[in-house]
Amino acid sequence: MDTDRSNRDGDVVTARIMEMMKESGAHLEGHFKLTSGLHSGHYIQCALMLRFPRFAAYAGEKLAERLAPSKPEVILSPALGGLIIGHEVARVLGIPFIFCERQDGEMRLRRFPHPGKVRFALVEDVVTTGKSSGETARILTDGGADWVSSGSIIDRRAEGVCEGWDLVSLWKLSFPLFEEKECPLCKEGLPLVKPGSRPG
């Protein structure tokens, strides 16, 4: 495969995803306190983009194209964030979609029988630390399934996090994150918004 060409195609996809995030109100700019406690000038809530089925379909198609070479037989996602995108990817590939969910603090495959020794791809909306991804995948690998690939709309892993892991994404975020003490936005006196609560 022509690497230059696939890089260019990747840039086009990323640009389109960035537009969709802005257009749908999923990408907010301001001053945010993230779940990690760090401050950021950007906040992305994928659900706001995925509420538009045509955007979800586009992201699903592009992720499916990149996961197809690994020949998965099942798509697995963690609820709730991975539900829509996982389903879209599975629809394009023509394979089943199953999801796991947290019950009493642990990820479980509550509603589905274990698919056995199948090849599966893990699909998420956003990957931050990779911790829940590993926890999710283990549910199937523990039963003998083969974890062949992973994809997310957004990869917002910090540098050095799960480096050896081959994660396919449509947009690799590199917005700077700040400790509260060193946050330039705090110094400017911008009001701090905690995502999840309504901005403004």
CB 17 within 8 A of CB 66: no
Minimum distance between the CB of residue 183 and Zn ion, rounded to whole angstroms? 3
User: Which residue in 87, 186, 193, 195 binds Zn ion (CB under 5 A)?
Assistant: 186
Whole-number minimum distance, CB 179 to Zn ion, in Å?
Answer: 9
CA quadruple 190, 195, 197, 198: dihedral sign: positive
- Of 79 and 193, nearer to Zn ion (C-beta) is 193
| CA 61 from centroid of its chain's CA atoms | 14
185 binds Zn ion (CB under 5 A): yes
Q: Please tell me the total number of residues recorded for the chain in this structure.
A: 200
Question: Which among 67-75, 81-89, 149-157, 183-191 is the span making contact with Zn ion, rule CB under 5 A?
Answer: 183-191
Q: In terms of CB distance, is 105 or 189 closer to Zn ion? A: 189
Q: How far is the CB of 154 from Zn ion (least distance, A)?
A: 21
Q: Which of 68, 75, 70, 57 is nearest to 112 (CA)?
A: 75
Q: Is 18 in the site for Zn ion (CB under 5 A)?
A: no
Cα torsion 26, 186, 180, 174 to 10°: value is 40
Does 32 bind Zn ion (CB under 5 A)? Our answer is no
Taking CB under 5 A as the binding criterion, the range among 31-39, 89-97, 139-147, 169-177 that sits at the site for Zn ion is: 31-39
Stretch that binds Zn ion, among 5-13, 67-75, 154-162, 177-185 (CB under 5 A): 177-185
Segment interacting with Zn ion, rule: CB under 5 A, options 56-64, 137-145, 167-175, 181-189: 181-189
Q: Which of residues 36-95 bind Zn ion (CB under 5 A)?
A: 39
* Position 183 contacts Zn ion (CB under 5 A): yes
* Bridge partners (DSSP) listed for residue 98: 76
Positions that interact with Zn ion (CB under 5 A): 39, 183, 185-186
